[in-house]
Chain A
Amino acid sequence: MKKFFAVAVKFILFNAVLAICLLGATGVLRNKEYEGAQDMFAKWKPEHADIVFIGNSHQFCTIDTDLLYSEYGIESFMLSSSAQTVPMSYYAAKEAIELRHPDVICFEVSYCANDFNTVKGMDHCFFDGFPNCKAKYEALNDLIDPEERIYFLLPLGIFHSRWKELTEEDYSGFPVSERGTYRMTNVYVNSEIPVVDEDDLYPVPGEMERYLRMMIDLCEEEDVKLILYAAPFNGQFPGEEGSIEDLKTRERIFNHVGVIAKECGVEYHNLFYELDELGIDNETDWADSQHFNCLGQVKMTRYMMDNGYLGY
């Protein structure tokens, strides 16, 4: 019997060391470029957040949470990742409430104009950094095909082949601040953004509207103030030809989001109609046709805070 226990202990020990090694390998190999600050949220020190920002890359390129703290004393976190769809953002809101119960959730609505649940391959940007909590498993069950879920629980199956492209950042971590702010430093000369009439509407795609309304209901139930806003942008996705018509359709959808917000009594700011007031310089403040660089980010953050668009 003694021998059996000795063997059992060695077996458990071996598997424990193996698990640690595999976790370490996962940490190094997973694609940090996409993850933003998701995994930092659970480790974030403050127990309560004044504001949690939710959305996709448009969100994390628009708001500087560190600036909100240093200039306004607002304790906030950027819980956004690249290509984070509206359903994902709904679960991110659940996670934010579950872990920090913020006073305000600020949701950037640009993905309301995308008629799909997930961007294939990009769903890892959201899930791989998502801390282990109830909301994560609900999101997995809801949004990911059953046969693919295993790769979200064991992401090494996806990222093991990244050994070919490891850089220094893979070992040192992705350069986001402790409040999840990511700053783009390159400069892109953007063109004028065409704007449609404010009454010009196009319906929000069905699934996106359903999850948007679920988020509104969730915040109401949990007594969290929800603020919606549309950050301005121009052009199409990188690598694709720009299409003015496509952008205009999206703007019409953002106008329809305003109708839904009004109907539900939720605060909404469509910044496409405040382009002049924003003070954005197309020569210096963009990182690409859709995202602000750190200069634009500072201007946008100050503008929204100074105008009371963030609930404070």
Chain B
Amino acid sequence: MLFNSLSFLIFFPVCLALYMVLPAKARTFILLAASIYFYMCWNPVYVLLLASSILVTYICALILPKCAGKTGSRRIVLACGLIINFGILFVFKYFNFFAETIAKVTGSTGLHLDLLLPVGISFYTFQAVGYLIDVYRGDEPEKNIFRYALFVSFFPQLVAGPIERSGNLLKQIRELDKRPLMNLDDFRKGAFIMLYGYFMKMVIADRAAMLVDTVYDVENYSQYKGFAVLLAAVLFSVQIYCDFAGYTYIAIGAARIMGFKLRENFNTPYLARGIRDFWDRWHISLTGWFRDYLYFPLGGSRKGRTRKYINILIIFLVSGLWHGASWHFVFWGFLHGILRVIEEIVSPIWNKFRSAASDVFFGGKEDDKTYGALSCILTFFIVTVCWMFFRAESIRQAFDLIVNMFSGFGLWQLTDGSLLMLGLDAKEMNVLIIGLIIMILVDRAKHKGVDVPAFFAERSEIVQAFILLIGILFIVIFGIYGMEYDAAAFIYFQF
């Protein structure tokens, strides 16, 4: 059940109505039942995998406090939980990838499992494992299995995050019975957040995808050069942001309407002034997970510079693999890792040079806005080139496209109308540009610290209703959906 499908537009109000009408004590069960139904809409059998993940981590977490003082036993329990969870993830997501790789290297036939990738398996596995590690580190385990099951399977964030922590979501689930029937302020903010999420996904991301899919088409990509490839690369950066952030906003908004506050997952990532800054703003919940549960245990930056760089590389390689069982994802992660290491090495030297240059040329009063803008543009360009490896079907295709992008530049491409023959005509392009302007304005406001949903929720009720109406109509008319259109799954569902 996709957020941008009619079934969700029926499912969510029904779920919300039941949540509000039935007694407070039943809320956990209603949301749990709704979450299970939501997941079963994709593949009923795979709910067993979700249930296994929940049961294993629940039981392990209950055993851990009973082994207090016995380090060996505690480690064994934790290892059991991790092995079973990551084992399921490995079999369903990575087995074929590794088997094929080994087969290629050894020249053997190799083994292939005919399995469908369960939707959102990487997200809920990481959430459940994160909880288990938190308990191992001393957090109180949740004794009520229904509450814990809801924590792992809460439908708004089940299939594509944000990857929640027990300290945030589980805490709110524990207080579910005591919450008032409805908080109007939350309802309004949630509605605006959801609306913006739909806008990002249906008006911008899926429209940008029309051009991106044309240029990245495996059969025909070699014919596109110069600006055509550049435009597709830039639009893929836009698409993946609007797709994933759009999903997250719908998830956060839907949860907010029901009174839950989920974690932020994006903080204006394309306004980042460097790769590290980018990763502090992009998929924040995953970055945080890797930092807390992998980077720090590996030693982080405490064990010397070389080890730190190796740790960074490991984190990004694993991050690449997390995104997909394919070498181009691994390469994408590796590229980001290398860039992060280079940034770590160069930053101190660059900062000294910048300070000296500022003293010489600007009398110590550097124009931070211009420098910031240039940093943003450079970071966006680097990230965009990296995204090409993410979007391409293979590393080879990405390299070919990069070569094409730099080899076939011609200014006539800007005037001969060829850019409007890549899947987006002039009218569609105009709508996309309007969408992008709105997105940039919202990101800019957020960057300056404005709470955009709160800004709208604080207006008079008439103004709020008017904005909601215009927003809904805009999405209904200019959104990409309908019978002839395969309701596009969110890109991050595949992870």
Contacts and interface: CB of A to CB of B under 8 A. Distances in A.
Contacts of B461: 10
B473 A25 contact: yes
Given A7-B184, A14-B468, A18-B469, A160 B6 contact: no
B1 to A, nearest CB: 14
A161 B461 CA distance: 31
A160 B481 CA distance: 9
Contacts of A157: 6, 481-483
Contact of B483 (A10, A25, A148, A163): A148
A264 interface: no
B476 interface: yes
Nearest to B428: A164
Nearest to B7: A150
Given A14-B465, A164-B428, A21 B479 contact: no
Contacts of A18: 469, 472
Contacts, number: 42
Contacts of B428: 164
B346 interface: no
A58 to B, nearest CB: 28
Interface string A4-20: 00010010001001100
A27 B226 CA distance: 43
Contacts of A280: none
A92 to B, nearest CB: 23
Contacts of B425: 164
Query: DSSP majority for the B interface?
Result: helix
A29 B479 CA distance: 14
Contact of B469 (A17, A148, A161): A17
Secondary structure at chain A's binding surface: helix, strand, loop or mixed? Answer: helix
Most buried by A among B468, B477, B484: B477
Query: Size class of A's contact patch?
Result: 10 to 19
Contacts of B484: 158
B178 interface: no
Interface string A71-101: 0000000000000000000000000000000
Interface in B474-488: 476-479, 481-484
B66 interface: no
Interface in B436-482: 461, 465, 468-469, 472-473, 476-479, 481-482
Given A14-B468, A164-B428, A22 B483 contact: no
A15 B366 CA distance: 53
A161 B483 contact: no
Interface in A1-55: 7, 10, 14, 17-18, 21-22, 25, 29
A209 to B, nearest CB: 30
A25 B469 CA distance: 12
A151 B469 contact: no
A215 B184 CA distance: 56
A157 B482 CA distance: 5
A256 to B, nearest CB: 36
Contacts of A151: 482-483
A18 B9 CA distance: 15
B484 to A, nearest CB: 8
A4 B478 CA distance: 35
Interface in A100-139: none
Contacts of A7: 184
A156 interface: yes
A7 B188 CA distance: 12
B25 interface: no
Contacts of B482: 151, 157-158, 160-161
B469 A150 contact: no
Interface string B213-248: 000000000000000000000000000000000000
Contacts of A163: 477-478
A99 B468 CA distance: 39
A21 B427 CA distance: 23
A160 B469 contact: no
B46 to A, nearest CB: 22
Contact of B6 (A10, A150, A164): A150
Nearest to A165: B427
B6 A22 contact: no
Interface in B120-146: none
Contacts of B479: 160
A21 B184 contact: no
B274 to A, nearest CB: 40
A18 B483 CA distance: 22
B258 to A, nearest CB: 16
Interface string B306-330: 0000000000000000000000000
Given A14-B468, A17-B469, A164 B476 contact: no
Nearest to B466: A17
Interface centre among A7, A150, A164 (most CB of B within 10 A): A164
Interface string B272-312: 00000000000000000000000000000000000000000
Contacts of B465: 10, 14, 17
A25 B479 CA distance: 14
Given A14-B465, A14-B468, A158-B483, A21 B478 contact: no
Contacts of A29: 477
Interface string A152-186: 00001110110110000000000000000000000
A190 B207 CA distance: 45
B473 A164 contact: no
Contacts of B478: 160, 163
B471 to A, nearest CB: 11
A21 B473 contact: yes
A258 B476 CA distance: 49
A6 B219 CA distance: 59
Interface string A200-225: 00000000000000000000000000
A151 B6 CA distance: 11
A162 to B, nearest CB: 9
Interface string B164-185: 0000000000000000000010
Given A150-B6, A157-B482, 6 more contacts: A17-B465, A151-B483, A157-B6, A157-B481, A161-B482, A164-B427
Interface of B: 6, 184, 425, 427-428, 461, 465, 468-469, 472-473, 476-479, 481-484
Query: Nearest 3 pairs between A and B by C-beta?
Result: A157-B482, A151-B483, A164-B427
25 contacts: A10-B465, A14-B465, A14-B468, A14-B469, A17-B465, A18-B469, A18-B472, A21-B469, A22-B476, A25-B476, A25-B477, A148-B483, A151-B482, A156-B476, A157-B483, A158-B482, A158-B483, A158-B484, A160-B478, A160-B481, A160-B482, A161-B482, A163-B477, A164-B427, A164-B428
